[in-house]
Structure formats: C-alpha cells, structure tokens
Amino acid sequence: MSESLRQSLDLSLFWEYRTVLLRGLVFNLYVFLCAASVAITIGLGAALLRINRAWPFRVLGTLHVEIFRNAPDYIMVVWVHFVLPLLLSPILGWRVEFHPFVSAVIALGFVYSGYYAETFRAGIQSIPRGHLEAGRACGMSERLILWRIVMPQVVRKMLPEGLNQLVSLFKATTIVSLIAVPDMMYQVSMVTAQEMRPIPLYTGAALVYFAVVFAVAQAVRLASERWRQSIYA
C-alpha cells in the first residue's frame, strides 16, 4: 500500500482533534438551519410573486429568481461579507459590518431561495385548478386555499427535489470558512496549518460530511415516503 494512501486511511489525527472538529460541524449545522429557513421563506415569497396576477409582482419575482439562481454561492458569500457593507455604509450613514455568520446565512439563504422559488412555483402550478375551485365553492378564502389545499400537496410533490436542495445547501455551508466562520472546514485548515498532515484531516472531514448527509437524507426519505405517496393512486 502506498504511503499516501496509508496516511489518508489513518484517521487517528482526525480522531485526536474530534472535539474542535465536531464543534465546527455544529457550526455548519447552525449555518445550514438558518440559511435553509431563509431560503424556504424567501423562496416561497418569490414563488408567490412569480405567479401573482399583477405583472409588476411577477417581474419582481422573476428578477429575484434569475439573480440568485445564477450567482455562484462562493462569490455571493464573499460579496455579501465584503462588498455589501461598503455599499450600505454610505446609504445608511453608519459603518455597517456583518458578523461572518450573518453574511453566510444571508448569502446562502438568498442563493438557495432562487432554487426554492422555482421548486415552489412548479409545485403550486401543478395543482389542478379544480382543487382551488372546489375550495372557493365551499366558501374558503384564497389564503385558506393556499395553506390547506395547495401547500400540503406542494410539499409532498416537491419533497424529493427540496431534499436534494437541502443536501446541496448543507454541502455549500463548507465554503463559509472563507469568511472565517469557524465551521468544520475552517477547523480542518487550522489544524492542518499546525500539524502539516492534511490527508487524514481532509479525508476525515469528507467522511463525516458524507455520513451526516447520507444518514439524514435517507432517514427523511424513508420516513416520508408513505405519507408522500398517499395522494397518488
């Protein structure tokens, strides 16, 4: 067995630093949960704009989707952290500075809101008109129809795709180390700088991310499948 392969499989160094590395992973989870809430909320808002009857709203929604879906998350993170404060400071008249965590959540949340907007829009538009008319005929308000009839079906239909996007988002949280959010990748590079043994550290990080994503995604799929399928014949 070659020396480098042996080294990469020897994860004792990773294990040695497990506390600090896992603390990093917890940070990943924080960023992920906050960014996912932002992405889903803003994404739903943008989707509702895109299907609005009034065209100015539709234009606004489309603009949102195109801007954020086509922006690389890497650049967005850097831009929000370093450029946005420079733009905002003169407008607001005081020195704006974002905590790296806040920048990370804003940047990733908005980028993924672009994807979520499209997923929501497709889901909402796939609901047959008749389901809405049946709601109206029963005296339901448009808001009730959205929350009681449309969204429960949309969530079931978009679950596989939405889950994929959450997986992408979780993996994207590793780039926040760029702006010094102390996530796991950040800790890995810190420890690497000290120990000069990158191979087991990066391998260990890759394995941990894989294990977390695989286990959680699989669990969600298994748990939701029956519930999701109940609407189909």
> How near is the Cβ of 189 to other proteins at its closest, in Å?
47
Which has the closest alpha carbon to 169: 103, 80, 109?
A: 109
* Residues contacting residue 127 through CB under 8 Å, at least 6 positions apart: 149, 150, 153, 154
Please select the residue that binds other proteins; options are 41, 125, 126, 141, rule is CB under 8 A: 141
Binding segment (CB under 8 A) for other proteins, from list 59-67, 97-105, 144-152, 174-182: 144-152
Which has the closest alpha carbon to 175: 31, 40, 66?
A: 31
Nearer to other proteins by C-beta: 147 or 214? 147
> How near is the Cβ of 51 to other proteins at its closest, in Å?
17
The answer to whether the CB of 149 falls within 8 A of the CB of 128 is: no
Q: How far apart are CA 131 and CA 61, in angstroms?
A: 25
Which has the closest alpha carbon to 167: 220, 205, 125, 127?
A: 220
* Residues contacting residue 101 through CB under 8 Å, at least 6 positions apart: 30, 31, 176, 181
Half-sphere exposure of residue 46, counting CA atoms within 13 Å on the CB side? Answer: 29
Tell me if 156 contacts other proteins by CB under 8 A: yes
Tell me if 231 contacts other proteins by CB under 8 A: yes
Nearer to other proteins by C-beta: 149 or 212? 149
Tell me if 232 contacts other proteins by CB under 8 A: yes
> How near is the Cβ of 18 to other proteins at its closest, in Å?
44
Tell me if 93 contacts other proteins by CB under 8 A: no
Tell me if 160 contacts other proteins by CB under 8 A: no
Nearer to other proteins by C-beta: 23 or 136? 136
Tell me if 230 contacts other proteins by CB under 8 A: yes
Please select the residue that binds other proteins; options are 18, 22, 63, 133, rule is CB under 8 A: 133
Q: What are the helix (H) ranges across the chain?
A: 3-9, 12-16, 18-50, 55-69, 73-78, 84-92, 100-125, 129-137, 142-144, 151-172, 184-195, 198-229
The answer to whether the CB of 29 falls within 8 A of the CB of 40 is: no
Residues 99-128 that bind other proteins (CB under 8 A): 128
Please select the residue that binds other proteins; options are 6, 23, 99, 136, rule is CB under 8 A: 136
Point out which residues bind other proteins (CB under 8 A): 128, 130-131, 133-142, 144, 148-149, 152-153, 156, 230-233
